[in-house]
A = this chain, B = another copy of it.
C-alpha cells in the first residue's frame, strides 16, 4: 500500500513535469510513462482515465505548493496584524516561485479549464474551495482582509507569479517588495 502510494506520487510528479514542458495537449499516459522511466502502461494502471490522471496531478500540485508545517506554525504564532499578513503573502509567493514546473503546470490547468468542461469542473472545485479556505483562515486567525481583499490578492499574486515565471515587465523589482506594496495598498 505504501509502495503503491509512492509510485502514484512519482507518476503524478512526472505528469507535472510533462504538463509544464509540453502543455495540456502533450499530457498523455504514455508521455508520463516515458517521463517517469516506467514500463508503458504503468500510468494507466494507476490512473485509469485522463480525468483520474488530472485529479491525481491536481492533488499532487496541492501537496507540493502547501506550506511546510513549521512555517505555518511560525506564522500562526505571530500577532494577526498587517505585518503578519505580509509574511503570509511573502511565503505564498516563495512557494509559488520556488518550483517553476509546479506553478507552470497549474497555469496550464487553468487554461485547460477554459477548454474542457470536465477540467473546468475539477478546477472550479479546487479554486473555490481554496478561496473559501483562505477567507476562513483569515477570519479564524483575526488577520486583516476579508473576501473582497483576498480576491484582489489572488488576482495580483497570480499576475505577479505569471510575470516572474515567464517574461517579466519589471524584473529588477524584488518580489518581496512588490508583495509589500500590495499589502500596504490593498488592505483597507
Residues in A lying within 8 Å of B, measured CB to CB = 20-26, 100, 104, 107-108, 110-115, 120, 123-124, 127-128, 130-131, 147-148, 151-152, 154-160, 162-163, 165-167, 169-170, 173, 178, 181-182, 185-186, 188
Contact A148 B181, CB 8 Å, known A107-B111, A128-B169:
yes
The number of times this chain is found in the oligomer is: 2
Q: CB < 8 Å: which of B24, B120, B167 contacts A23?
A: B24
Going nearest first, the 9 A-B pairs with the smallest beta carbon separation are A155-B159, A158-B159, A159-B159, A131-B169, A156-B156, A25-B25, A23-B23, A155-B160, A151-B170
B120 touching A167, Cβ below 8 Å: yes
In addition to A23-B25, A151-B178, A159-B159, 15 A-B residue pairs with Cβ atoms within 8 Å of each other are A21-B115, A25-B25, A113-B166, A114-B165, A114-B166, A123-B167, A127-B169, A128-B169, A131-B169, A147-B170, A152-B156, A154-B163, A155-B159, A157-B159, A158-B158
